[in-house]
Structure 1
Amino acid sequence: MRVGAIGKAAAIVRDPFGVQPNDSDYLILSLLYDTVTIPAKSPLVAPRLATRWEAGEDLRTWRFTLAENVAFHDGSPCTAEDVAWSVRRLRQSEAGTSRLPGIDVSGIRAEGPRTLVIESRYPNSRIPLLLRLTTFVQKKGTTDPAGAPGTGPFELDWFRDGNARLVRNDNWFGGEVHLDAIEVRMFDRTASMVNAVLTGEIDLASNAGAVAARTAGKRDGVQVVRRPDDTAHYVVMRTSDGPFADPRVREAVKLAVDRKALVDQAISGYGKPANDILGTGDPCYAKDIPQRERNIDRARKLLDEAGFDRSRSYQLLTTEEIPGMAESATLLANQLQEAGVKIDVRKQDQATFLGASRGKAPLYTSFYGTQDSVVFCAGKLLVSESKLNEAAWHDPAFDAAYQQVVSTADDKRGAQLSHDLQQVQHERSGLLVWGAADGIDLASDKVGGLPDLPGYGRVQLERAWLSG
């Protein structure tokens, strides 16, 4: 099966413990290397290298029992020492504190050949959830991670300039793999990737976006795979300083936007309006919190009360990192103009945006590609200690609510605490979450068994098949 994925040659990262801005890199790594757990629908986490897990009474110490007879692609056994070493390596990475919040390197160890022990600084019932995306496992002591053997359903045949061929691992512990091989082809533009699937050059265009679905959805021989609640689209307003530090200003901006229009136009209707809360796919998502509707009069009043300077223009930075991101910026500028907020849209190249703007600028568009868990998103993007806290939002009540929800193992109590967490986020965070976009994959009608999970669940292609 020939799979297209978006990537830039200048941004290729083959280190599974690094940050992978390229979809193509992440796809390759996910097929080569197993993680401790994987995403699922219900519950939100499923076994992979770990077959089961349990926590101590204080919810601080977790023990993960690893699968038997797991081997690396070179035939050597994979043990708890390898898994512990890999998770420690992840924790030491640039984004380690955000990927594994509350876990220190010293709290990750092996206990015998098949037990991974994770100790948290605080009670945390969501530890298995944290281990499901990027806890790729390599051999203990690996010094050259690029191309090192993994334990995954496919092993590397070759890698050239961002493109790769992966062949089936017949000894994979996880069960039967249907495809003989997967070829991953890197495309730097979505339009080129979509054209490739329409002409039969590739069999699957991964994460192609809403525009592709709109243009290709009626073509014979092509199927559109929609994965609801895939990506959160939002605007970041820096809360620590600058023009959006006043919560009244942030509320005014949130009231000035037309969310349905943004969904209809920026992502072609492939999604739904959001309510300034991350995690729209979570069964515990607080649907009873009233949807924030557009109210220009109220927005103007709040701006006046805050003494907001409407005589000047404010830069809204954006880039074309994912479909709909740049398109939304122009729409937002026009909508905010009706409330008297003058916006100057500045589109940057991806490298400049990620290096100089994201997490630093007062106002910019952004996104997050995992929408199935409110608590997961909160721990990654909103708690004060997270390095991915883009809005520099430090709210003691929110931090306390987060600690409460992760420190309970009771589902009913956890759902109520999750509701409290969402209420605080809705009221005053620095994120204007305007839409939850569907994930869109385009595939030949000869392809089957594709995942329908949101976010990075799309890379789980071990059960896919291709008819003759």
Structure 2
Amino acid sequence: MSIFRNRREFLALTGAAAGGIALTACGGPGATDEAAGGGEPRRGGRFRALFTGGGEQETIDPHAESLAIDMARTKALFDRLVELDATMAPVPRLAAKWESNADATVWRFTLREALFHDGKPLAPEDVLFTFARILDPKATTHFAQGLLSVIDLKKSRAAGGNVVEVALKRPTAEFPALLGTLGTAVVSSRYADPARPAGTGAFRLKTFQAGRSFVAERFDDHWDGGAYVDELHVLAADADARGNALRAGEAEFGYEMTPTFARTVQADRSVRVLAAKGSTAHAIVMKCDQEPFDDPDVTLAFKLLADREKLVQVVLAGQGVVGNDMFGKGYQYYPEDVPQRTRDVEEARALLKKAGVLNRTLSLYTSSVANGFVEAATLFAEQAADAGLRVKVTTGSSETYFKDQLTKGVMGSHRSGAMTIPNYLNDRLLSTSAFNASAWRRKDFDAAFATARSTTDEAERTRLYGRLQRTVHDEGGLLVWGHPDWLNAVSSRVRGMDAAPPNTLHSARFDKVWLA
């Protein structure tokens, strides 16, 4: 992986060594409102954003994006029909509005006036071409292919100058939200070469080198007013290099910073940490198709053993909130009225004794692939010992962990970034889900999910998704112990950027930032 591991290498690429922008220390954590984003926006300058690199695997193909650095680059160059807000609810972008028929099998999207970088206006044909490209069976790297397979391309059509009618193979009340997910950006019907993109985004490509750098310039004819900065540089750098560059004034944005970095810069007025509270999920999964977790009493016992507050304080350094064995805290369709599960060692011991589990040694498979995985597994094993239970922690390869986890150990470490609750249930908890790490397979659950997905009445759909979440809370193999804060950082000169959950409209969004 070609990423920058020292200051000299980073400076050589950014040009900072030859007179790059010097940043002034005019604010930090606890600084004034103006330092956090007030004042009148002004144009000009170069904005340098640092992400974990992916080497030669990086791409600017918006339908093959899989890394955070890919997403930042394609977000600059392209727009989606729909984006997701901080609660994971859909909000308009290239689609100004939408409506469906009575059973949510046909959706009509009214497009706003927008121009591609080649000067051609956005048209329904571009949207239909985009869907066809995403769903091309030969394009195995197109991330949204599974989610958008519900589209019936043969029956979809242009329905007027600025209206596209999308027919679906089955009722899908959450279809607009699907269009706000990874790999769904709209491309021109003339799009043929990913190296020469023509999107509708706020920036237009200048140069791109996988694993190294990306430079784009402001597109003045952007439908949403265009960017404030003249140039956007998206660069690959490891965690230490990101932090060092920010503190030295050699970058304006650092993606996914650690809790340790956040503590370190508390008194540093040149850097401001953007903390989106509880925006991701950390869990321990128990495989419900294997003994002893095929017994719901055993999965409940393990949930009762977790000291969630201690896990958050120790593993997340207090940068997060406790979990309640359901995904999506704070998101649309999350049942907030479910009582918070607390630790009860005596009740857990009684359940485990009844199930005959106390004398067994159970394996928990983990890896250093994600911050906190090994630490959480080790601490949970200590907590389980309080009930007389033996948990053996096994550390596997970080390169193949998420694949290996499906076959190794009866428990495993699990994390998820921000996504809609329906998408999480679809991807992780159905009998056919490819990433069903808890091996939760119940036909009644699958049927209830299908009913919720096709229910057009929002109140009833909310009730049905809430019932599904309660079922997972009570009976499933998902021990969600915490929701880490999502930590990014910016230079104190940066204005117009606030904390936002990952995979949402305002996450890593650089068209509205400006430099003081």
Q: Same fold (TM over 0.5)?
A: yes
After superposition, the Cα gap between the structure-2 partners of 1:341 and 1:16, relative to the gap in structure 1 and judged at 3 Å, is: farther
Aligned match of 1:378 in 425, 437, 441? 425
What is residue 280 of structure 1 aligned with on the other side?
329
Q: Is the 8 A contact 1:98 1:386 kept in 2?
A: no
Deviations 1:414-437 (CA, angstroms, capped at 9, x unpaired): 332232122112112222111112
The 3 A distance-change label for structure 1 pair 339 and 144 is farther
Residue among 302, 313, 318 paired with 1:253: 302
2:38 is aligned to none
Give CA-to-partner distance per residue, 1:14-52, whole Å, 9 cap, x none: 4322251x3212211111121110112478221111111
Residue aligning to 1:182: 232
Give the match for residue 54 of structure 2. Answer: 8
Amino acid at match of 1:213: A
Partner of 1:90: 134
The residue number in structure 1 matching 2:90 is: 45
CA distance in 2, matches of 1:348, 1:435: 22
CA-CA distance at 1:173 after TM superposition: 1.4
Q: Deviations over 1:212-231 (max 9, x none)?
A: 21222221221111112311
**1:248 shift after superposition:** 2.6
- For the residues of structure 2 that align with 1:296 and 1:101, how far apart are their CA atoms? 46
Q: Distance in 1 between matches of 2:146 and 2:319?
A: 29
- What is the CA distance between 1:316 and its match in structure 2? 1.9
The answer to whether structure 1 residue 72 and structure 2 residue 121 are counterparts is no
Aligned counterpart, 1:198: 247
Pick closer, same or farther for the CA change 1:170–1:222 going to 2, 3 Å: same
Contact 1:398–1:425 under 8 Å retained in 2 = no
Residue identity matched to 1:79: A
Shift of 1:454: 1.1
How high is the TM-score relative to the length of structure 1?
A: 0.90
Counterpart in 1 of 2:268?
219
- Which residue identity lines up with residue 229 of structure 2 in the other structure? L
Shift of 1:282: 2.0
Query: Out of 219, 225, 229, which is 1:169 matched to?
Result: 219
Q: In the TM superposition, what is the alpha-carbon distance from 1:195 to its structure 2 partner?
A: 2.0
Q: How far is the alpha carbon of 1:128 from its aligned partner? A: 0.8
Aligned-pair identity (%) = 31
Spell out, residue by residue over 1:356-401, the C-alpha distance to the aligned partner (whole angstroms, 9 max, x if none). Answer: 3358764221211115x43343233323333333323222333233
C-alpha separation in 2, matches of 1:209 and 1:178:
29
The separation in 2 between residues aligned to 1:360 and 1:82, in whole angstroms, is: 44
1:83, 1:61 → 2: CA distance?
A: 15
User: Is the alpha carbon distance of 1:413 and 1:82 closer, same or farther for their aligned partners in structure 2, counting shifts above 3 Å?
Assistant: same
- The residue type paired with residue 374 of structure 1 is I
1:115, distance to aligned residue in structure 2 (A): 2.8
Between the aligned partners of 1:208 and 1:400, the Cα distance in structure 2 is 40
Report the counterpart of residue 437 of structure 1 in structure 2: 484
SS of 1:289 mapped into structure 2: coil
The 2-side partners of 1:359 and 1:148 are apart by 40
Residue 336 (structure 2) pairs with residue 270 (structure 1): no
Cα distance in 2, alignment partners of residues 419 and 279 from structure 1: 11
After superposition, give the CA deviation of every residue in 1:226-273 in whole Å (9 maximum; x if it has no partner).
112311111222223455333333222212111111111111112110
CA contact (8 A) 1:79 1:113 kept: yes
SS of the equivalent of 1:233 reads strand
Q: Are 2:378 and 1:334 aligned?
A: no
* AA matched with 1:119: A
1:110 Cα deviation from its structure 2 partner:
4.2
- What TM-score results when the alignment is normalised by the length of structure 2? 0.82
| Correspondent of 1:114 among 159, 162, 184 | 162
Cα distance change, pair 219–382 in 1 and its aligned pair in 2 (3 A): same
Distance apart, 1:56 and its partner CA: 0.3
Gaps of 5+ in 1: none
Bigger Rg over Cα: 2
Do the aligned partners of residues 245 and 37 (structure 1) sit closer, same or farther apart at CA in structure 2, a change above 3 Å counting?
same
Find out whether 1:447 has 2:491 as its counterpart.
Answer: no
What SS does structure 1 have at the residue aligned with 2:468?
helix
Residue from 175, 184, 194 that aligns with 1:127: 175
Pairing 1:58–2:103 present: yes
Residue of structure 1 equivalent to 2:457: 410
The alpha-carbon deviation at position 131 of structure 1 amounts to: 0.7
Question: In 1, Cα distance between the equivalents of 2:338 and 2:496?
Answer: 36
1:207 matched residue in structure 2:
256
Query: Which residue of structure 1 aligns with residue 278 of structure 2?
Result: 229
11-20 or 104-113, which moves further after superposition? Answer: 104-113
The verdict on how the C-alpha distance between 1:84 and 1:210 changes in structure 2, with shifts beyond 3 A counting, is farther
The 2-side partners of 1:361 and 1:97 are apart by 30
SS of corresponding position for 2:480? strand
Cα distance in structure 2, aligned partners of 1:207 and 1:117 = 38
Q: For the Cα contact (< 8 Å) 2:321–2:484, is it kept in 1?
A: yes
**Kindly tell me: are residues 176 and 8 of structure 1, through their superposed partners in 2, closer, same or farther at Cα, counting changes over 3 Å?**
closer
Q: Give me the CA root mean square deviation.
A: 2.6
Q: 1:170 to 1:53 in 2, by over 3 A?
A: same
When structure 1 is superposed on structure 2, of 390-399 and 303-312 the one drifting more is 303-312
Q: Does residue 87 of structure 2 align to residue 81 of structure 1? A: no
Tell which deviates more after alignment, 337-346 or 222-231.
337-346
SS in 1 for 2:309: helix
* Higher strand fraction (1 or 2): 1
Task: Choose from 384, 388, 391 the match for 2:435.
Answer: 388
Count of residue correspondences: 462
Q: Please tell me the residue identity of whatever aligns with 1:345.
A: V
Does structure 1 residue 420 correspond to structure 2 residue 462?
A: no
Please say if 1:365 is aligned against 2:413: yes
Q: Which runs of 5+ in 2 are unaligned?
A: 1-46
Asked if structure 1 preserves the Cα contact closer than 8 Å seen for 2:365 and 2:405, the reply is no
- Find the counterpart in structure 2 of residue 297 from structure 1: 346
